[in-house]
Amino acid sequence: MTETTTIALIRHGQTPWNAEFRIQGRTDIDLNDTGREQARFAAKELDDSWNIVTSSPLSRASETAAIIAEGLGLSGPAHVDHLVERNFGRAEGLTAGDELEAVRLPGGFVDSETEAEVSARGLLALEHLRDTYAGKNVIAVSHGSFIRLTLQGLFDLTMPRINNAAVSIVTFTPDGWSLDTVNGVPAHELV
């Protein structure tokens, strides 16, 4: 691979479950009006250098990606299965409390995908995007835990919570992957 490929990982906009602090995982919850506005704002924050819009197949990511694509005058989104959110097993739909604690395990929850599994799948997703869209600037709308764990695994850094509609950018060059921004903040400013 000799071409530079840049990937903007964007978390979907807010959903009703985000507003209620419910764990969504693979449960397919639509955006709310706040989430749609966040997606429109994300599109305004991006410049015209982006070529392709992709997304997780879940509706909250797909709708966010469609809003961003429209705002940038791009087609899409193309769905990429590897971009789907972490499977949180029995924790999906729960909020903090006794019921959630009853299904908590070290590093996850009963019947959930492990952090290592998510991180490995995230690297596969980045490699797929890099290889499929070599030399392009790719927007990939996904999910908070997926983005955080992918970046943690790739760069061996502790990542902050990924905010709704926030942009995190990675670049692949012949020297390998580099981290440009997380939640719109330059990587060198991360503490």
- For residue 16, what are the CA distances in angstroms to 29, 43, 143, 177? 8, 21, 15, 35
Give the H or E element holding residue 182: strand 176-182
At residue 30, the pLDDT reads 98
From the list 191, 189, 190, 181, the residue with the least C-alpha distance to 46 is 181
- Domain 5-189 top-level CATH class: alpha beta
At residue 17, the pLDDT reads 98
At residue 191, the pLDDT reads 64
From the list 144, 153, 145, the residue with the least C-alpha distance to 179 is 153
Helical H segments across 46-188, by residue range: 59-72, 98-102, 115-132, 144-155
Give the H or E element holding residue 167: strand 167-173
How much is the pTM? 0.96
Residue ranges per structural domain of the chain? 5-189
Q: What are the tokens at 189?
A: 């400013």
Token pair 């989430």 in the structure block, residue: 35
Determine the distance from the C-alpha atom of residue 182 to the mean position of all C-alpha atoms in its chain, rounded to a whole number: 11
Which residues are marked as active site?
A: 12, 85
- Each of the 191 residues of the chain gets a pLDDT tens digit; together they read 579 999 999 999 999 999 999 999 999 999 999 999 999 999 999 999 999 999 999 999 999 999 999 999 999 899 999 999 999 999 999 999 999 999 999 989 999 999 999 999 999 999 999 999 999 999 999 999 999 999 999 999 999 999 999 999 999 999 999 999 999 999 999 86
Contacts of 109 (CB under 8 A, 6+ apart): 88, 89, 90, 91, 100, 103
At residue 190, the pLDDT reads 81
